[in-house]
Amino acid sequence: MVVLGASGSRADEILSPAAISLSGAARAIVTARGLGLWQDCRMFRAVLILAALLPAVAMAGEPRVTAATATREGATWRFEVTVAHADTGWEHYADGWEIATPDGSRLGYRELLHPHVTEQPFTRSLGGVAIPAELGRVTIRAHDSLHGWGEPFVPELGN
């Protein structure tokens, strides 16, 4: 990635190595040629630090389906789904997951009625899910009360 300065010059041409360590998992390399330029670039520093932190903050709270098994039970299916999420309490927790067709039509939904702060990851089941015979796979997504839907998990269905 190339960052352009205000005059259109490349930032890596006006910056030289000097590291700032940020708390948490985010780290940014912020450099400047000459102390005067560094002191004049307070806004640039703030923007750079925010840019380094935002991806880590955005990804930290999304719910993830980490495993799933599907078992045929007569004409329907039973799903065992493992969800990982950094539940913090009632204000922010994984509150459900869904099973859907590849085009997004919902086949089943499992509501999660309480936070799982000390139980991570956790597995819950949902039975009685009718899946059209022509489908060889479904999409499973977890949901949380703050960020919404996580990334899809796509298991293959056995016979």
- Per the DSSP assignment, residues forming a β-bridge with 4 are 10
Predicted local confidence at residue 26, as pLDDT: 35
Q: What is the pLDDT of residues 108-122, one digit of tens each?
A: 999 988 888 787 898
Tell me the pTM: 0.60
128 — alpha (psi -120 to 50), left (phi > 0) or beta? left
How many domains in the chain? 2
Same domain, 43 and 113: no
Predicted local confidence at residue 111, as pLDDT: 92
Predicted local confidence at residue 97, as pLDDT: 95
Range of the domain at 110: 64-149
| pLDDT lower than 70: segments of the chain | 1-60, 159
Same domain, 55 and 91: no
Among the candidates 41, 60, 79, a domain finishes at 60
Predicted local confidence at residue 44, as pLDDT: 52
Instruction: Please compute Rg for the chain using Cα positions.
Output: 23
CB 90 within 8 A of CB 59: no
